Every structure is written in C-alpha cells, then in structure tokens.
Chain A
C-alpha cells in the first residue's frame, strides 16, 4: 500500500497570503495525484487531479506541482472560503490512499 504523508498538519495563514501544502508518496506514483478540500460537515471536494490540472469550476488561485514523489498544492492568495482541511490522494495503485490532511486555519 502506498503511504501518503502530508505536511504540515496545521498551517496558520492570514487572508490574502500564500499557502503551500506538501504531500509525499512512499513510492513513485507518476503524476497520479489529486487534491481535495473538505469543510466541516461536508464531503471532500476535488480540486486538482493529474498533480496539476484544476477540476471543473476550481479558481485559478489553486495550483498543483510535482517533483518526483513530492507534490505541492499552492493557494496563491487565501480567501475566507479557503480555510479548510486539504487532502492528497494517489490513484496510481490499488488501494487508492489519502494523506492524513493539512488544516489551513486563520492566523
């Protein structure tokens, strides 16, 4: 099973600032990596797939990048609605696995 490790666990950011979230895979997953956003009481929402392709309707302030087995989600200028928990997920191998999440909170 591929283990996905996210860091940091919590990120404190002021509105308007940039946030960078990291995700590392325990082995090569090519670019088969997705990012989700989850708000309290809701199911996760797909933001990014293919490591860097935004899903339908996702604002351009969300971007994804990859370097080997390291992946980054960047939110260029945090809006109030962006404070949430973010998860990465690999879909290179079954079972599909998620990271443990990064909570982005208001500083």
Chain B
C-alpha cells in the first residue's frame, strides 16, 4: 500500500524559503517507473504542477518555468523521501502544497500542506 506523508512548516515569512518533505512508503523514490511531484493549489492559480524528479539510470528533474529560478526538488534515497525548496517566497506562493506520485497522471497524493506566506 503506497502512502505519501508530507511534513514541513505551515507558515513562512516573505523572502524566506519554503521547505517541505514527502516520505514514501510502499514504493521507492529511485523506482525506474515512477516520478515524484510537487503540485500546489490556490484559489488564484488553481492546480499548478511545480516540478518532478525521477530516476532512469540517472536522476532527472523538471520544473515549471514560472518558478524555475526559485525551486529545487531533491531526493534522499537513504530516507526514501523527496523534498521541495521554494526560495524568495511572496504572498502569491500561499497555497496547499501536495506531493504526488505519477509520471503522467497522479495516482497517489500526500495529505496536502497549507503553507501561508505572511509576516
């Protein structure tokens, strides 16, 4: 049974870094057929796919252009988890953040983390 469990702070100050972690059980972050994603949802931006990482003999990461200069997605094989870092946040980055499994569509989601950017 595959489960994704998110952790990280629910509030971040403007200009600081948003950091979230997604722990995987029932699958491997270095799977050769899965991809591991960060997706966010807000009333103003809807559902937005931020980026993904996956392993196919080597590691690949892809980011959406709107956050490409500020985002980093890393994997930690020793802990079987992956993480999101979003730098220089503004109130526009306030959203529910989801980690998710899927290369094309998402079949498993984390529980979601509401992150509020506010001083």
Contacts and interface: CB of A to CB of B under 8 A. Distances in A.
B36 interface: no
Interface in B62-119: 62, 64-65, 98, 100, 104-107, 109-112
Interface size class of B (residues with CB under 8 A): 10 to 19
A46 interface: yes
A5 B98 CA distance: 22
Given A1-B65, A43-B110, A43-B111, A98 B105 contact: no
Contacts of A106: none
Interface string A74-106: 000000000000010101001111111100000
Interface in A46-90: 46, 49, 55, 87, 89
Majority SS at the chain A contact face:
loop
Nearest to A87: B47
A100 B105 contact: no
Which one of B46, B98, B107, B112 has the highest number of Cβ atoms from chain A below 10 Å of its Cβ? B46
A91 B104 contact: yes
Contact of B112 (A32, A34, A43, A46): A43
A95 B106 contact: no
Contacts of A96: 49, 104
Contacts of B64: 95
B19 to A, nearest CB: 20
Given A34-B104, A98-B47, 17 more contacts: A43-B98, A43-B110, A44-B106, A44-B109, A46-B105, A46-B106, A46-B107, A87-B47, A89-B105, A91-B105, A94-B62, A95-B49, A95-B62, A95-B64, A95-B65, A96-B49, A97-B49
14 contacts: A32-B104, A34-B104, A36-B106, A43-B100, A43-B110, A44-B47, A44-B106, A55-B107, A89-B105, A91-B104, A95-B64, A95-B65, A98-B49, A99-B46
